A and B are shown apart, each in its own frame.
Chain A
Amino acid sequence: MVNITLLPWVILFSPLLAAFFIALFFLRSPKIAGILSTASVLISFAASAALFGFYLKNPSLLPVETAYAWISIPGLSIPFGFLIDRLSLLMLLIVTGVGSCIFLYSIGYMRGDQSFPRYFASLSLFAFSMLGIVLAHNFLMLFVFWELVAVSSYLLIGFWFEKPSAADAGNKAFIINRVGDFGFVIGIFMVWMLSGLGGAERTFLFSELATRIPDLAHQNLVTPAILTVAAFLVFCGVVGKSAQFPLYIWLPDAMEGPTPVSALIHAATMVAAGVYLLARTFFLIHDLPNVLETIAVIGVITAGMAALLAVVQNDIKKILAYSTISQLGYMVMAVGLGSSTIGMYHLTTHAFFKALLFLGAGAMIHSLHTQNIWEMGSLLKRMPVTAATFLIGTLALCGIYPFSGFFSKDEILALAYEENRVIYFAALLTAGLTAFYMTRAVWIAILGPDRKTHGHDHHAVHDAEPIMKWPLIVLAFFSVTAGFMGIPAFIMGGHGEHPHFNMAVAITSTGVALAGIALGTLLYARVKNRQDPLERFFGKAYDVLVKKYYLDEAFLALANFFQKLIAQILFIFDSKVIIDRGANGAAQLTAGLGSFIRYAQTGKLQTTALVFSFGLVALVAFMFLRGF
């Protein structure tokens, strides 16, 4: 019998130990690094599964909280501890499960890269950070790992740092996340402060906050406006990390990293952290209708905007990136509509099929050496397994019965149908767009003819090696079956409201998805050349989409305003006013005064002595007159 309290430690620290040992000892031994790192995640997965199994048998024990002193001084105590409940158990399984697939796949994908060990060290660090977020039982610990996720994403996105675009993308991801975290930190401080209003000692613990914060409103200790501000500030962190409008701009650029990294960032970890945070801190928002509504609106805006952008992309990873943003919009919207369960449900199914899609895209990129969908084609013949699993992922993403995406997306739509019709229609439209852009990608990249002009490497194109193929198959299996596993029921714990099912909505959404697929087929099934028909139809509007609504330019201008203009102005002020006028001015004043007084120095010894004696006499006389 394994000690249950030990398992969270194993889950959390086994990737960290791997990263640590690789960084210290195995930077020149790729084989050991790969095995060590993958083994560590598999260990985490096994431990998570054991933990899951244990609590599945003993659900009455949940939630379990363990805490150890980390920072403890008079007036401030920040414990280090684990919160095991249904939410974190589910998330642990997703992170380590999907993570294991990606780690295994990486061994094949990254083989031969000269920084292979560094890759695995960073990847392990990433897994560690994400698991930390999942297990954290207090706000500050969550923030610590939250930042570590940003750091490890910085390291991984900029993994090929000699490539300027990759290095820039890493910086962008980190800085944009920091902008979100600005609000998040202040939000944490506010929540911390609010927790003490009832007279109790302030706390960061989620379990304490979950009871205290709603109480505050009931006891009229605090106005709803303050709670609203705190909730919005915490939500800022989500906007940054989960790539919501307007901070989503880092995510497409993050495609500069190796493809398995994109899979990890976009499926199971980093971006999921934001939604997980929303679910974890649902107690903050669920009594505040206006906050919920804003969150839902931001979610649906993100979903729609990103889906539109995905339509015009020609880079397969960029298509998937915008698709991720769009689906994250869905999840956030679900939370905003009042159900964190459904948000988490979509997160789970999405983790499977999006990881599958990314890894499939990675396999294509790996053997075709291009990311441009127009240079791919006829892959069903050339890479059957990859193509087939990619199609499964696509169908899941489009929300076609019986693939997993159908169930979770349908629940979101059903929820929206009940809560807010405007959002419902926008979400429905987005679902159609999703089906459309994925169909476009599939027709051009997989089903269509090979459009590569100099196709001399035809023979080299084949399915990837087993270590890359099997993760695809495993993920494909879950993408198909995840809808039947009763995930929402598990999160709800068998009680609470029954998941919504609305036949009308289900039929409508399937219809819309099929319409999107039909439209995509109509437009792209026959395209033989490399000309996108949409470009002809829409002209100007198409340009705006290609330019990504000029949002990047706006942010760049804002950043340059501070880091170039303001910085330069301040520097000129510093050097011209403070140094020249202030410091050197004082020095010149002193020097001027000195050059005036120096004429008193005649250099004659006896003049000096005489003046000195007069001074002495004057002093003595003065003392006499004062009467000592």
Chain B
Amino acid sequence: MISLHHYLTVSALLFALGLAGLLVRRNMLMILLSIELILNAANLSFVAFSSYWGDLSGQAVVFFTMLVAAAEVTVGLSIAVLLYRKKDTTDTRELETLKW
């Protein structure tokens, strides 16, 4: 029997992986991927809790998140493409015009 704790552990691992990726990878695409991981970690806990409490609204939120994630990826990727065109790189260390 897979209990709530199992799901949550996997979720936490996924989250940690995503966060680590987000912080250490310099490639923008990889960062976007990491964000997806984080989102899915959250989704997983939502679903887990949803089934645990027998409340469907958790699953509704997941659909909502997926929708947002899709939108986010669309926008994120297009930004990445535009940045690549402009700067010839996807390395985030090069992108620091958002200061001062």
Q: Which residue numbers of A lie inside 8 Å of B, CB to CB?
A: 598-599, 601-606, 609-610, 613
Contacts and interface: CB of A to CB of B under 8 A. Distances in A.
A608 to B, nearest CB: 9
A580 to B, nearest CB: 28
Q: Is the interface of A mostly helix, strand, loop or mixed?
A: helix
Nearest to B95: A605
Contacts of B26: 606
A613 B23 contact: yes
B69 to A, nearest CB: 17
A48 B95 CA distance: 93
A610 to B, nearest CB: 6
Q: How large is the interface on B (under 10, 10 to 19, 20 to 34, 35 or more residues)?
A: 10 to 19
- The winner among A598, A603, A605 for most chain B CB atoms within 10 A is A605
Contacts of B97: 603
A613 B19 contact: yes
Given A613-B19, A613-B23, A606 B92 contact: yes
A601 B96 CA distance: 10
Given A601-B100, A605-B92, 12 more contacts: A601-B99, A602-B96, A603-B95, A603-B96, A603-B100, A604-B93, A604-B96, A604-B99, A605-B95, A606-B22, A606-B26, A613-B22
Contacts of A602: 96, 99
A598 B100 contact: yes
Contacts of B100: 598-599, 601, 603
Contacts of A599: 100
Contacts of A609: 22-23
A598 B98 CA distance: 11
Contacts of A610: 23
Contacts of B31: 605
Interface in B6-40: 19, 22-24, 26, 31
Interface string B56-100: 000000000000000000000000000000000000110111111
Contacts of A601: 98-100
B68 to A, nearest CB: 18
Nearest to B93: A604
Nearest to A616: B19
A602 B99 CA distance: 5
A603 B23 contact: no
Find the residue from B31, B97, B100 having the highest chain A CB count within 10 A.
B100
A603 B92 contact: no
B4 to A, nearest CB: 17
A603 to B, nearest CB: 3
Nearest to A605: B92
B53 to A, nearest CB: 17
A598 to B, nearest CB: 6
A310 to B, nearest CB: 81
A599 B23 CA distance: 21
Contacts of A603: 95-100
B8 to A, nearest CB: 14
Nearest to A617: B19
A606 B23 CA distance: 6
A381 to B, nearest CB: 97
22 contacts: A598-B100, A599-B100, A601-B100, A602-B96, A602-B99, A603-B96, A603-B97, A603-B98, A603-B99, A604-B96, A604-B99, A605-B31, A605-B92, A605-B96, A606-B22, A606-B23, A606-B24, A606-B26, A606-B92, A609-B23, A613-B19, A613-B23
A598 B100 CA distance: 6
Nearest to B26: A606
A606 B100 CA distance: 16
A609 B19 CA distance: 9
Contacts of B98: 601, 603
Please provide the 9 A-B residue pairs with the shortest distance between their CB atoms, ordered closest to farther.
A603-B99, A603-B96, A605-B92, A603-B98, A601-B99, A604-B96, A609-B22, A602-B99, A598-B100
B27 to A, nearest CB: 11
B54 to A, nearest CB: 22
B9 to A, nearest CB: 16
A599 B99 CA distance: 8
